[in-house]
């Protein structure tokens, strides 16, 4: 009976060893197919050793006189090898799976970067001709001798151009939101500054359709901590939507109030109501989905890209706020935006410099002839003299060749041959001249992403203006940063 047990353990151990050898052969094949090159040949060593062990088992069984202890050792060895194989195979599988995940993550990151680079490039390429179109349109409209028909045509060109620009901006915003590149700034801002800017824009937009627009402010603290520009963008997306889908002679009401005020914290509630075409009950839940548009039978001047409300919702979410809408077809819509803020002390009012722009000298650093000519013409309207450098290196050379304080400001493009605007700014700031440390350098670029603005400021620029040029913003920025002319 004991002999049966001894030989049974040896032969079962031998069969298990055969399985172990087969498993290690398959394991070696798996390793090679997994593209693990370094050290992959080492898996051949246990296969050879296990073959010798198997031959030893058979030699003991056929030619030896094994006892129970020897049979137990041989059988236990096979079991041990099997356990080692299972553990090793499990660990290797996890390592390979981890490497696959890392490779996939790297591929996603590379794809995201490629998409971002593409969007940045296409944004620049689209904004450059838009700068020429809107710039020339702006210059042409300043001609007092225009015939009424020509003026109307130019105004329509401007409207279409600005609409196309809004589509470009919305596309870039959605891309930044989806890739997580859009960040919330937390600065002290005055709510009336936002509301005054909105008032000016809405007076123009609603005036074009002869709509009645009214803003009501109720018990506001005045200053808050948050992202001023993002708040304005959220509100303008909704207000523009109200103008678009409210017919002529319609009414738009905009109410701002503080709620839940406690311990220097509060929520600002913005309520925007109109008596426009409204939305059906079925469409309301889809109102904030990207590219969602209801077939209402109403044709506005532009049907829109279906991005405005989706962007407003996404930006509101980034600020930990919420948007709700109540709407009824052919009755109107009411949007309620609620955003939490910390209440801040009122900012010290900056004394207006009222800098006289007349006779100032500005260096325009721009590689594209049409863009440089438009900027020069816009500056000339304010009696500002300008000179041009075709690239950053030329700008540095021109500054070094002029006496101190010759230039009052520099308008710097970013993408240029020879030397880009960021490198040129750093070189100018490093020059051993006092005026080069103080002269206002203002980016004037088609690069519109948030990191483009951050890079401009880090390089030593005072501000970043985006093409197409906002003429009023250009003048106000020059006025803000240029010092009084030294005698």
Same domain, residue pair 426 and 378: yes
Segments in 320-381 forming alpha helices (H)? 369-380
pTM: 0.61
pLDDT at 387: 96
pLDDT at 218: 85
Spatial separation of the C-alpha atoms in residues 336 and 320, rounded to whole Å = 14
Q: Is the pLDDT assigned to residue 302 strictly greater than 60?
A: no
What is the domain range of residue 193?
Answer: 187-343
Residue 438 sits in a domain whose CATH number is 3.40.50.2300
- Residue at 262 is within a domain: yes
Same domain, residue pair 281 and 365: no
pLDDT at 37: 52
What is the sign of the dihedral through the CA atoms of 377, 381, 386 and 389? Answer: negative
- Residue at 316 is within a domain: yes
Omega before residue 468 within 30° of 0, cis? yes
Higher-scoring residue by pLDDT: 275, 63: 275
Same domain, residue pair 334 and 371: no
What is the sign of the dihedral through the CA atoms of 118, 121, 123 and 129? Answer: negative
Same domain, residue pair 338 and 198: yes
Spatial separation of the C-alpha atoms in residues 44 and 52, rounded to whole Å = 13
Asked if 260 and 250 touch (Cβ cutoff 8 Å), the reply is: no
pLDDT at 300: 45
Helix (H) or strand (E) holding 339: strand 332-343
- Residue at 114 is within a domain: no
pLDDT at 439: 95
Q: How much is the average pLDDT of 328-342?
A: 94
Same domain, residue pair 102 and 136: no
- Residue at 373 is within a domain: yes
Q: List the beta bridge partners of residue 259.
A: 267
Higher-scoring residue by pLDDT: 122, 143: 143
Same domain, residue pair 200 and 280: yes
pLDDT at 2: 66
Domain's final residue, options 56, 74, 108: 108
- Residue at 310 is within a domain: yes
Q: Is the pLDDT assigned to residue 299 strictly greater than 60?
A: no
The DSSP-derived string for 403-446 is -TT--SEEEE-SS-SSS-HHHHHHHHHHSS-HHHHHS-EEEEES
361-415 pLDDT, tens per residue? 999 999 999 889 999 999 998 899 999 999 999 999 999 999 999 999 999 999 8
Q: Is the pLDDT assigned to residue 320 strictly greater than 50?
A: yes
- Residue at 59 is within a domain: yes
Total number of domains constituting the chain: 4
**DSSP category for residue 469:** P
pLDDT at 301: 45
Same domain, residue pair 102 and 218: no
Q: Is the pLDDT assigned to residue 487 strictly greater than 70?
A: no
pLDDT at 124: 67
Return the minimum-mean-pLDDT range out of 96-105, 161-170, 332-341, 450-459.
Answer: 161-170
Asked if 438 and 399 touch (Cβ cutoff 8 Å), the reply is: no
**DSSP category for residue 144:** T
Segments in 179-307 forming alpha helices (H)? 191-208, 228-244
pLDDT at 97: 80
Domain's final residue, options 343, 377, 398: 343
- Residue at 355 is within a domain: no
Higher-scoring residue by pLDDT: 487, 477: 477
pLDDT at 18: 84
- Residue at 314 is within a domain: yes
Same domain, residue pair 383 and 272: no
Q: How much is the average pLDDT of 346-369?
A: 75
Residue 204 sits in a domain whose CATH number is 3.30.565.10
Higher-scoring residue by pLDDT: 211, 17: 211
Same domain, residue pair 151 and 242: no
Same domain, residue pair 307 and 165: no
């Amino acid at each position: 009976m004991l002999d049966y047990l001894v030989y049974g353990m040896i032969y079962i151990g031998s069969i298990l060893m055969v399985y172990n050898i087969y498993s290690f052969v398959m394991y070696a094949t798996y390793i090679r197919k997994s593209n693990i090159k370094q050290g992959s040949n080492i898996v051949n060593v246990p296969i050879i050793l296990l073959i010798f062990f198997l031959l030893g088992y058979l030699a003991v069984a056929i030619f030896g006189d094994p006892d129970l202890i020897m049979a137990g050792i041989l059988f236990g060895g096979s079991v041990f090898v099997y356990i080692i194989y299972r553990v090793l195979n499990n660990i290797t599988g996890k390592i390979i799976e981890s490497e696959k995940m890392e490779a996939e993550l790297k591929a996603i990151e590379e794809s995201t970067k490629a998409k971002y680079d593409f969007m940045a490039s296409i944004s620049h390429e689209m904004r450059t001709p838009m700068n020429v179109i809107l710039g020339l349109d702006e210059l042409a409209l300043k001609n007092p001798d225009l015939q009424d028909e020509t003026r109307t045509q130019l105004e329509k060109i401007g409207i279409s151009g600005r609409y196309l620009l809004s589509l470009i901006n919305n596309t870039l915003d959605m891309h930044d939101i989806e890739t997580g590149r859009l960040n919330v700034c937390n600065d002290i801002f005055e709510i009336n500054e936002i509301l005054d800017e909105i008032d000016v824009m809405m007076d123009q937009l609603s005036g074009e359709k002869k709509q009645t627009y009214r803003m009501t402010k109720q018990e506001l603290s005045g200053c808050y901590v948050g992202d001023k520009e993002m708040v304005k963008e959220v509100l303008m997306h909704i207000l523009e939507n109200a103008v678009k889908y409210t017919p002529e002679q319609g009414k738009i009401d905009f109410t701002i109030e503080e709620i839940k005020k406690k311990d220097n914290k509060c929520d600002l509630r913005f309520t925007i109501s109109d008596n426009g075409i409204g939305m059906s009950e079925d469409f309301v839940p889809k109102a904030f989905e990207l590219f969602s548009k209801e077939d209402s039978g109403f044709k506005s001047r532009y049907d829109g890209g279906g991005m405005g409300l989706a962007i407003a919702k996404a930006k509101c979410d980034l600020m930990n706020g919420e948007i709700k809408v109540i709407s009824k077809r052919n009755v109107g819509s009411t949007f309620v935006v609620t955003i939490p803020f910390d209440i801040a002390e009122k900012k010290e009012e900056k004394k207006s410099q009222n800098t006289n722009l007349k006779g100032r000298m500005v260096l325009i650093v721009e590689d594209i002839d049409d863009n440089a000519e438009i900027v020069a013409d816009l500056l000339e309207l304010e009696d500002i003299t300008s000179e041009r450098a075709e690239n950053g290196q030329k700008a540095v050379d021109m500054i070094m060749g002029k006496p101190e304080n010759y230039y009052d400001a520099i308008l710097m493009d970013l993408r240029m041959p020879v030397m880009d605007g960021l490198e040129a700014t750093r070189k100018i700031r490093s020059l051993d001249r006092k005026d080069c440390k103080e002269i206002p350098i203002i980016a004037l670029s088609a690069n519109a992403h948030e990191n483009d603005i951050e890079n401009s400021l880090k390089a030593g620029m005072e501000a970043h203006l985006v093409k197409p040029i906002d003429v009023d913003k250009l003048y106000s920025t020059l006025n803000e940063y240029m010092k009084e002319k030294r005698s």
